[in-house]
């Protein structure tokens, strides 16, 4: 039976993942909070040495752990350094597959601005028929809209500029 390690196992998606996979795989968790449904190694993912024991004899890692909110230090600590450590520990332990899942919630902010605020509230009458597409470059709309498209490649229209509060400092200072 394949051994799967799940990070962020007590979160919404982690709990659903465990419920879906528990009868088909040998599951374990790497989590900050205690967990009683499957074996759990408790550690902070930003501490590589502390998390390494959880990766022993693991075939697949499902990485769901993240900090949700607008605290940039906590985001860097968990979402950047923590994810780097998950990949590093997986590589060191010979893990064959990593499944990395995330959502817009881990970078936050968009739900505070139109039209996303209205979309999240379900107030569809307050928005038009179209709205700017969120992409990996949305916080840096100025840079995304000026980057040349690859030759012959299909391209999406440049995203509409985001409010200054949702843009990176380079975009705000260049405006």
Residue pLDDT, tens place only, 108-158: 566 677 777 787 778 888 887 777 666 555 554 333 333 344 444 433 334
CATH T-level assignment (fold) for domain 3-105: Rossmann fold (3.40.50)
Exposed, middle or buried by CB within 10 Å (0-12, 13-18, 19+), for 124?
Answer: exposed
Which pLDDT score, from 0 to 100, does residue 158 have? 40
Answer yes or no: is pLDDT of 172 > 90.
Answer: no
How sure is the predictor about 20, in pLDDT bands with cuts at 50, 70 and 90?
A: very high
Which pLDDT score, from 0 to 100, does residue 2 have? 96
Share of the chain above pLDDT 90, in %: 45
Nearest to 133 by CA among 110, 152, 153, 107: 110
Nearest to 66 by CA among 8, 114, 112, 137: 8
- Listed by start position, the domains of the chain span 3-105, 110-147+154-174
Residue pLDDT, tens place only, 70-98: 777 887 888 889 999 999 999 999 999 99
């Amino acid at each position: 039976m394949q051994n799967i390690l799940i990070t962020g196992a007590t979160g919404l998606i982690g709990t659903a993942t465990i419920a879906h996979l528990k009868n088909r795989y040998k599951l374990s968790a790497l989590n900050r909070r205690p967990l009683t449904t499957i074996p759990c190694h408790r550690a902070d993912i930003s501490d590589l040495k502390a998390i390494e024991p959880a990766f022993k004899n693991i075939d697949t890692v499902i990485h769901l752990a993240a900090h949700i909110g607008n605290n940039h230090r906590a985001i860097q600590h968990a979402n950047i350094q923590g994810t780097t450590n998950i990949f590093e520990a997986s590589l060191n332990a010979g893990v064959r597959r990593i499944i990395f899942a995330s959502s817009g919630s881990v970078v936050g902010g968009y739900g505070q601005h139109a039209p996303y605020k209205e979309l999240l509230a379900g107030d569809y009458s307050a928005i038009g028929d179209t709205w700017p597409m969120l992409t990996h470059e949305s916080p840096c709309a100025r840079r995304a809209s000026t980057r040349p498209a690859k030759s012959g490649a299909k391209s999406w229209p440049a995203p509409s500029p985001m409010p200054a509060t949702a843009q990176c400092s380079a975009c705000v200072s260049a405006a």
